[in-house]
Structure 1
């Protein structure tokens, strides 16, 4: 792999962190984007950790040159948790970067265990393509959340020994909302899918993308520039309206609740669910309580199994579920978990997801 970073502190720490890590070899370290492109041309690395803010040539400028120099490399943007860093990172993801790493300021790197662990995890994941395509197991037992407070617990849904598509409901209910979950590879997937879904429906769309604060607001800004719907982070107490896309703010769980007859957005900072906040399961379970069968769920590329439990609740209520296929996913964890649990009504490549959503709104599942 290759590291491109102008900070001597970061370069030194990264060398130390990766020394002795099984299966990881740091073959070249570059001090800025210009040198990084020259080095990549020579060594053709399989993974590149690319700093965002650098002199001479920053990460966004270097990205297309690196893509040409090492066309098969997985490029991970290392970005500080600032407005500028987040903005450049989201732009880079839309222009071919594979993933990103939220990086603490250089003065805080001495204790950056979380950054170190995430760095090693992503290197291992993208260094083994078969791991990126491996579906993560669904949570066991998979029990849909209760919809009525005093309702007796329902039996756990049976996990099929041989995964297959879930049989669609015999009675179709026209959806009143769409919920979407994504993680690793999600920003690129959302930028491809959401503008197309907006062309097919005016239904409200509620999205959980695993991202830290600042990044989710920048993601919403970028999506707002390309979607027909208005896109913004969800705000506590606001009504869920048509022609709107609500992005769960980083650091907060987003859910839907009824205030009178009107669905409204709720936010909280309760404990992480599936090691995430926001978590898709929180949104999906809450939306199922509000919308019942009148709900379509979409699960896109992402690591882990977040969203699977929530899809179980949605399917149990008669709602629809659509997942991204393995080949087009950066990581087939989240959609793979739904499929392996027997909860997916249909599976599609990324470029067919919007059409599948459009068909599901008219009672067609294919």
Structure 2
């Protein structure tokens, strides 16, 4: 029987100037036991007051409001809590769509197209499902991010403590070596103390030789006109705070002969000096042994990059048909990212109870819920071997969290000569604005697909909202076609029909990337690509907002690599070329 995820409800704040909309959205969310609406306010200024109290994980933020609109409030909300996830809500107008994408460049994570009337909002089952899915997905993504940060912080603290202990052990070892050398000097054992001048010199120079072997602390304790005993100096020297004696040392200490007071100017009896030397030698020997065998150092954990919504970590690619845990070292960025995610996981297992309690708080010390107890993984991921592919087309599919992932991947594909086909689950009007933002932010020319549009290398074609985009023809006669066939995987546009048409037109000369998104759209089409001789790469779980689409492809065994979003462009260019 599968474990049911146990977590506290996601904390959501609703900001909208319409009382009707606020009431309906609040009712939709409170009907879901996984969501707790902590506030419902009518402008950005009131939202700031709620945020000051802490504990908010997701904000559904309207754009047009009195007093303070959404675009003005957004940076102020993120200043209070940079980890809060803001979803812009706007009606389906080109202006609002453009503002939503501007907001995403300022720190918002997603958008939700709001029905134009309260009647549509009340009966819109599609709006309700999309709203709840996005709120829960982004809240969970935030919790995962904070969990990884806490693990990384715990690992860094543990490593710093280990370094301090090793440094103290080394200092103790060096200190013991100085003491041993000083006690071994024949002058120390045979010459009685005597009065002398401030320089500690005498007629035969033996006292000067003895001072050269003393520690700095001993020299600092030297009093004018008299040289202090080494034995007393050793006792006065401060001990390292964290160097605890071993059990046998604790048992030996009461049995040590206590040094009897010796009048100044006289040497200790030989028997007493030998006993003191032997008693001091045991703890020094133990400290030297500890310094010679220091504790192993834990792996480094990279610092967080606060400007990114994803964290680099990977299930490495390549090198034969094998599991992700045994991937080839041919793809060095992947292997490095795999090590990156391993360190926080090991650190999380050794974290103290205090670190676990800290995960229950936000960056401001608010009452963020504890991380989710997630279901066990569906098993190891088998990767296909990389192969030489004469890449003639690049295809990308994405959904929830897709715009940010697309911007990052496409920025790295400047210079490729192949056409790039994209299906992003998104309504009409928003796809028009997305194409404009891709052109503006990535340097690649992007346009919405249109019927009979000819295919040109190096350009990006985006499936328009509510239409499946396909490719027909071969060679120089290839062109785009749109249709409104029934939704596939509950989506239109859908990734699968696009991939099937690309296989029919390009054969196996296709490289496909499946990015973050819900469901499994792209898995069946990706299987067709692989069967035809092409390759599929999927975004990894750690950098995905929702590991639905890429996870389905990865577990289907059709991927040659599973990579963080930051490594996908480089992987594509390795096979597709480009500057």
**Shared topology, TM-score over 0.5?**
yes
CA displacement at 1:89 relative to structure 2: 1.2
Other-structure match for 2:105: 94
CA displacement at 1:130 relative to structure 2: 9.7
Residues 86 and 218, structure 1, Cα contact 8 Å, conserved in 2: yes
Secondary structure of the structure 2 residue equivalent to 1:226? helix
| Distance in structure 2 (CA, Å) of the matches to 1:313 and 1:217 | 29
For residues 47 and 360 of structure 1, do their structure 2 counterparts lie closer, same or farther at Cα, with a shift above 3 Å needed? same
Alignment of 1:117-156 (within 5 A): 117-129=129-141
Alignment of 1:328-339 (within 5 A): 328-339=543-554
Residues 410 and 444, structure 2, Cα contact 8 Å, conserved in 1: no
Other-structure match for 2:381: 163
For residues 15 and 229 of structure 1, do their structure 2 counterparts lie closer, same or farther at Cα, with a shift above 3 Å needed? closer
Other-structure match for 2:61: 50
Query: Under a length normalisation based on structure 1, what TM-score does the superposition of the two structures give?
Result: 0.86
Query: Under a length normalisation based on structure 2, what TM-score does the superposition of the two structures give?
Result: 0.55
| Distance in structure 2 (CA, Å) of the matches to 1:129 and 1:188 | 14
Other-structure match for 1:320: 535
Other-structure match for 2:76: 65
The reply to whether residue 178 of structure 1 matches residue 190 of structure 2 is no
Task: Count matched residues.
Answer: 334
| Distance in structure 2 (CA, Å) of the matches to 1:181 and 1:317 | 18
Unaligned runs of 5+ in 2: 1-11, 146-377
CA displacement at 1:17 relative to structure 2: 2.4
Pick aligned residue for 1:190 from 398, 406, 415: 406
For residues 264 and 26 of structure 1, do their structure 2 counterparts lie closer, same or farther at Cα, with a shift above 3 Å needed? same
Residues 272 and 279, structure 1, Cα contact 8 Å, conserved in 2: yes
Greater RCO structure (CA 8 Å; 6+ sep): 1
Other-structure match for 2:347: none
CA displacement at 1:247 relative to structure 2: 0.4
Alignment of 1:1-366 (within 5 A): 1-108=12-119, 109-129=121-141, 162-169=380-387, 172-199=388-415, 201-258=416-473, 261-361=476-576
Other-structure match for 1:145: none
Secondary structure of the structure 1 residue equivalent to 2:59? strand
Secondary structure of the structure 1 residue equivalent to 2:521? coil
| Distance in structure 2 (CA, Å) of the matches to 1:131 and 1:208 | 28
RMSD over equivalenced CA pairs, Å: 2.2
Residues 10 and 106, structure 1, Cα contact 8 Å, conserved in 2: no
Other-structure match for 2:174: none
| Distance in structure 1 (CA, Å) of the matches to 2:19 and 2:68 | 17
Deviations, residues 116-160 of structure 1 (Å, cap 9, x unaligned)? 232223333334449999xxxxxxxxxxxxxxxxxxxxxxxxxx9
| Distance in structure 1 (CA, Å) of the matches to 2:143 and 2:452 | 40
Pick the structure with more strand per residue. 1
Residues 125 and 131, structure 1, Cα contact 8 Å, conserved in 2: no
Other-structure match for 2:254: none
CA displacement at 1:161 relative to structure 2: 6.2
Secondary structure of the structure 2 residue equivalent to 1:290? helix
Residue range with higher mean Cα deviation, 93-102 or 160-169: 160-169
Unaligned runs of 5+ in 1: 134-159
